[in-house]
Amino acid sequence: MKTELFDKISQKGRDFLGVRYPLICGAMTWVSDPKLVAAVSNAGGFASLAGGNTPPDILEKQIKETRKLTDKPFGVNLITIAPAYKDHLKLARELKLPFLIFAGSFPRRSEVQYAKETGAKILCFASTESIANRMIKFGADALILEGMEAGGHVGHVTLTILLQQVLFRMTDIPVFVAGGIANGRMCAHMLLMGAAGIQIGTRFAMAEESCAHDNFKEAFIKAKARNAVSTPQFDSRLPVVAVRALRNCSTDDFSRLQLKLISQLDKGTIHRTEAQEEVERFWMGRLRDAVVDGDVDHGSLMAGQSVGLVDNILSVQEIIDELVSDAETELERIREWIC
């Protein structure tokens, strides 16, 4: 496959990740297991295990299993608000992981430095300009600029705005982009605008190697972009990170959960921290219901708006080949048009 232009324009990201193509499979709880991560790495891309609320001993087994399945680079995604977060961070340090991605909320400066002491490269998510600046000050080696179009836990700013606020002015460190991207033609334009690479989640969740239930994948195939909606926050006393997922019963159940927790806060029968933890347990459980058990009516179908752009199931290798081939074709078209 011809990749001359793609290789040239993606050199920064390829060098940073040490991969053939700087195409990142986003870490998806219950989905990003050793099989999927290794498949992406072996196909020339980059992926990371989803730490989530995984017990530390299980995460250690997953890391070792992934190392057996691939000799290519991969990372581990750490959720800073997860109960096992500190244990995950310690484990990552002990195993001398080459790449760590901080997600969920924002790591402390000391935590970033603690992770970097082993030589690990640190990637941090940024959903606003101020967060991007803070993560760089804390020592992040690269950013993943994620727009609200993405699936799962998201911010409130579109990728279009973030590109202008962050990507266009930050040239010292690699900036990867995410949110609403599903085809190679768009990947080409993101690279042309200065992105070091592209993170894609929803498309890889539908891969043949994805452990997601067939019902889960079928729901994605049938969905339209408008079906992937973001949850609202009802009360500032219960700060919740917005979740983008296909609308179903879980969407309404979450609204009822917020009202119940707000009522308990009014009565003083629950602390805010406990309420937030209950919110996270809700999403973790409902996501498992959908991904593992195939309950697409009551489980959480976390998906980005790019779900409306994909309608087939391919192998990881086919997905990456298609993305790169289409990107190369678009870059050739632009070169001919300009010249």
3-state secondary structure of 232: coil
Q: Please, what CATH class does the domain formed by 4-212+308-338 belong to?
A: alpha beta
- At 200-214, the pLDDT tens digits run 999 999 999 999 999
Q: For the chain, where do the domains classified as CATH 3.20.20.70 start and end? A: 4-212+308-338
Is the pLDDT at 76 greater than 90? The verdict is: yes
Euclidean distance between the first and the last CA atom of the chain, given in angstroms as a whole number:
23
Confidence band of 24 (pLDDT split at 50, 70, 90): very high
39-74: pLDDT as tens digits: 999 999 999 999 988 999 999 999 999 999 999 999
235 DSSP 8-state letter: -
pLDDT band at residue 240 using 50, 70 and 90 as cut-offs: confident
Per-residue pLDDT, averaged over 322-331, amounts to: 98
| 268, amino acid identity | G
| Residue length of the chain | 339
Confidence of residue 84 (pLDDT cuts 50, 70, 90): confident
Whether 232 shows a pLDDT value over 80: the answer reads yes
How far apart CA 81 and CA 16 sit, in angstroms, is 27
**pLDDT recorded at residue 281:** 87
CA 39/CA 210 separation, integer angstroms: 9
Alpha helices by DSSP H, listed for the chain, are 4-9, 11-17, 34-42, 56-69, 85-94, 109-116, 129-138, 159-162, 184-192, 202-205, 214-222, 249-267, 272-291, 316-338
pLDDT in tens, 141-158: 999 999 999 999 899 999
Is residue 105 predicted with pLDDT exceeding 80? Answer: no
Residue 83: the pLDDT is 81
Q: Do the beta carbons of residue 45 and residue 208 sit within 8 Å?
A: no
| Mean pLDDT of the 73-91 span | 91
Given a contact cutoff of 8 angstroms between Cβ atoms, the answer to whether 25 and 17 are in contact is no
* The predicted structure's pLDDT at residue 339: 79
| pLDDT at site 254 | 94
Give the pLDDT mean for 6-21. Answer: 97
Q: Tell me the average pLDDT of the chain.
A: 94
Answer whether residue 187 shows pLDDT above 80.
yes
Give me the mean pLDDT over the 273-291 stretch.
90
pLDDT at 106: 85
Q: What is the pLDDT of residue 202?
A: 95
- Please give the share of the chain, as a percent, with pLDDT higher than 70: 100
